[in-house]
Chains A and B, each alone.
Chain A
């Protein structure tokens, strides 16, 4: 018995050591990024390196916000990310509902084509999308960038929401329709609440995708005042011969804030609604 307890304690200790080591290895660069944002320039490359700032300062934040177009880029990123998320959610939920609930010619092929699009690397679509945007006068515009992001954000979202909507028992919609709802009303009153965890997942995925995207933003947007954060910050703080590391770390910290806030508010909704048990098996 004592031997068994000893073995259990040892295996638990080994598991904890390995787990925490992995967590530390993953988290350390992020923690270093945060502490560097609060270090003065001189401490950034001090040797021996210090994890925590000796003289913590907010100077990097002041400089970034007041002396650079960071807030302009931040605003543009927010517009593009929120706009793309809204567009994807609307199109994906309605599209997924159409694929799941309606029967029409070409439904299956359309679903496969959407899936095929998702299998392509985003860079493959870069040139054709740029040409299309130029032809319709949407190049160098935030709206054009939103449409571009929707193009490769929609397939995954559509397939994710498809499975959520398919798992919603059709009896619920039918009950709503007999209770007095039109088809669209039943969609809003019954289907959407059931698909809410999927919608949250889709929203988070799309937001992060749009927020962090660099290549399309760099190619599609040429005007300085329309740039989003990833190309804007890199262009502003790094060049061939020099990188403003302190400001870059500060910018990275500030760029992570919206994503962290989104996760903090929406995390509980990701698991809510599973197994609601309103329909007997």
Chain B
């Protein structure tokens, strides 16, 4: 199968809820594409439209050059892993793995062999005679993956499959999924609200908010060149710091000025923004790792220190504004201690205060 094309998709539910609005996207073959967004943004709805479980209200879905809108799920050659795993409780693990093969009239001897091989690949061969209620969360998730992989579809659709796992298992399964994708080389479309999963697993991230596509790009691009304030705030943990202020011309360069701090923009940023810069209201954004504590001339007071083991997250009060910084694990300052901070100007992001669209980004 070549690409999947989503063309002007919209989905409106019975109570006039607009879940997806004019969504268009090309999904290339063998991509690991992630739909990233907050709960209720429409990412699962888009996935379900691709699978055929939901019909678009308007718009078209193409599998290659073939219009797929009226093709039922069983004929689309896609496999889906649900957030709830959706294992058939009245069947054993072997029965669950075998079911898709039975529906496709695979001969019994072949089915048995494929079940054994898939179970071996996912290390669940000891669980074949158990029922889903006898499995742990991680085991259920492997069985759900096995049921998707066993029939070798063209596209894998994964709807937040790791969300019910504990942190350690989630990290382990992330690596497993990446390896699986590299091994089988098929298109995977992954839905998550966890930006860490999106960043670590994807070849491309599609950020969605309120049913609309916000940005589509490789992880590095989405992280370092967010197209608007929403993408900037959603991608990255801790979230980006935002301060509203004005752009003021200062000779050849521009100055970002707010009541709490002033930052001189670089020449490159100034040149890029030199379009009616006088008192233009903007939002400055800077990532916590670009806030340097203990240097510079901006006065700050430590509010809270959150040690995570390998680093510390420091909440600072800068003239009434709360700024978050990411520092090393050896950070020694305690709450209520006064210090100074500096910002990596070349990493500064600027957004139009009205439209929240990117004006300039560091990089």
Q: How far is the CA of A181 from the CA of B164 in the complex (A)?
A: 27
- Measured between beta carbons, the chain B residues less than 8 angstroms from A26 are none
Q: Check A181 against B86 for contact (C-beta < 8 Å).
A: no
Q: Check B103 against A171 for contact (C-beta < 8 Å).
A: no
**Interface hit among B74-82, B186-194, B217-225, B345-353:** B74-82
Q: How far is the CA of A276 from the CA of B88 in the complex (A)?
A: 9
- B contact set with A: CB distance below 8 Å: 14, 48, 51-53, 72-74, 78-80, 82-90, 99-100, 103-104, 131-133, 137, 140, 147, 151, 157, 164
- A contact set with B: CB distance below 8 Å: 103, 169, 171-172, 174-182, 185, 189-190, 193-194, 273, 275-280
In the complex, how many angstroms separate the beta carbon of A171 from the nearest chain B beta carbon? 4
From A177, A179, A194, A280, give the contact of B85 (CB < 8 A). Answer: A280
Q: Check A178 against B73 for contact (C-beta < 8 Å).
A: yes
Q: How far is the CA of A174 from the CA of B88 in the complex (A)?
A: 11
Q: Check B72 against A169 for contact (C-beta < 8 Å).
A: no
Given the interface pairs A174-B53, A194-B90, the reply to whether A279 lies near B100 with Cβ below 8 Å is no
Q: Check A172 against B88 for contact (C-beta < 8 Å).
A: yes
19 contacts across the A-B interface (CB closer than 8 A): A172-B86, A174-B82, A174-B86, A175-B86, A176-B99, A177-B73, A178-B52, A179-B99, A179-B151, A180-B74, A181-B74, A181-B103, A189-B88, A189-B99, A194-B90, A276-B132, A279-B86, A280-B83, A280-B137
- Measured between beta carbons, the chain B residues less than 8 angstroms from A181 are 74, 103
In the complex, how many angstroms separate the beta carbon of B160 from the nearest chain A beta carbon? 11
Q: For A277, give the chain B residue with the smallest CB separation.
A: B133
- 9 smallest CB-CB distances across A and B, nearest first, come from A180-B103, A276-B89, A277-B133, A278-B89, A175-B86, A278-B132, A171-B86, A179-B100, A193-B90
Q: How far is the CA of A172 from the CA of B87 in the complex (A)?
A: 7
- Measured between beta carbons, the chain A residues less than 8 angstroms from B78 are 178
Q: Which of A171, A190, A273, A280 has the most CB of B within 10 A?
A: A280
- Measured between beta carbons, the chain A residues less than 8 angstroms from B100 are 179-180
Given the interface pairs A178-B79, A180-B104, the reply to whether A278 lies near B72 with Cβ below 8 Å is no
From A189, A276, A280, give the contact of B84 (CB < 8 A). Answer: A280
Known: A178-B78, A179-B99, A278-B133. 15 other contacts (CB 8 A): A103-B14, A169-B86, A172-B89, A176-B88, A177-B53, A177-B72, A178-B53, A178-B79, A180-B74, A180-B104, A185-B103, A194-B89, A194-B90, A273-B89, A280-B140
Q: Check B14 against A182 for contact (C-beta < 8 Å).
A: no
In the complex, how many angstroms separate the beta carbon of A278 from the nearest chain B beta carbon? 3
Q: How far is the CA of A5 from the CA of B137 in the complex (A)?
A: 44
- Measured between beta carbons, the chain B residues less than 8 angstroms from A175 are 80, 82, 86, 88, 147
Q: Check A277 against B79 for contact (C-beta < 8 Å).
A: no
- Measured between beta carbons, the chain A residues less than 8 angstroms from B157 are 178
- Measured between beta carbons, the chain A residues less than 8 angstroms from B82 are 171, 174-175
Q: How far is the CA of A97 from the CA of B78 in the complex (A)?
A: 26
- Measured between beta carbons, the chain B residues less than 8 angstroms from A278 are 85-89, 131-133, 140
Q: For B100, give the chain A residue with the smallest CB separation.
A: A179
- Measured between beta carbons, the chain A residues less than 8 angstroms from B85 are 278-280
In the complex, how many angstroms separate the beta carbon of B96 from the nearest chain A beta carbon? 9
Q: For B78, give the chain A residue with the smallest CB separation.
A: A178
Q: Check A276 against B131 for contact (C-beta < 8 Å).
A: yes
Q: How far is the CA of A8 from the CA of B100 in the complex (A)?
A: 58
- Measured between beta carbons, the chain A residues less than 8 angstroms from B83 are 280
Given the interface pairs A172-B88, A178-B53, A179-B103, the reply to whether A277 lies near B73 with Cβ below 8 Å is no
Q: Which of B53, B72, B86 has the most CB of A within 10 A?
A: B86
Q: How far is the CA of A194 from the CA of B137 in the complex (A)?
A: 21
Given the interface pairs A169-B84, A276-B131, A280-B84, the reply to whether A178 lies near B89 with Cβ below 8 Å is no
Q: How far is the CA of A277 from the CA of B89 in the complex (A)?
A: 7
Q: Check A276 against B80 for contact (C-beta < 8 Å).
A: no
- Measured between beta carbons, the chain B residues less than 8 angstroms from A172 are 86, 88-89
Q: Check B84 against A171 for contact (C-beta < 8 Å).
A: yes
From A178, A185, A275, A277, give the contact of B80 (CB < 8 A). Answer: A178
In the complex, how many angstroms separate the beta carbon of A189 from the nearest chain B beta carbon? 8
Q: For B132, give the chain A residue with the smallest CB separation.
A: A278
- Measured between beta carbons, the chain A residues less than 8 angstroms from B103 are 179-181, 185
- Measured between beta carbons, the chain B residues less than 8 angstroms from A177 are 52-53, 72-74
- Measured between beta carbons, the chain B residues less than 8 angstroms from A185 are 103
In the complex, how many angstroms separate the beta carbon of B114 from the nearest chain A beta carbon? 14
In the complex, how many angstroms separate the beta carbon of B274 from the nearest chain A beta carbon? 54
Q: How far is the CA of A277 from the CA of B87 in the complex (A)?
A: 9
- Measured between beta carbons, the chain B residues less than 8 angstroms from A194 are 89-90
Q: How far is the CA of A280 from the CA of B89 in the complex (A)?
A: 11
In the complex, how many angstroms separate the beta carbon of A179 from the nearest chain B beta carbon? 4
Q: Check B80 against A279 for contact (C-beta < 8 Å).
A: no
Given the interface pairs A169-B86, A180-B104, the reply to whether A277 lies near B132 with Cβ below 8 Å is yes
In the complex, how many angstroms separate the beta carbon of A77 from the nearest chain B beta carbon? 33
In the complex, how many angstroms separate the beta carbon of B69 from the nearest chain A beta carbon? 16
Q: For B135, give the chain A residue with the smallest CB separation.
A: A277
Q: How far is the CA of A171 from the CA of B164 in the complex (A)?
A: 16
In the complex, how many angstroms separate the beta carbon of B89 from the nearest chain A beta carbon? 3
Given the interface pairs A103-B14, A169-B86, A279-B84, the reply to whether A178 lies near B99 with Cβ below 8 Å is no
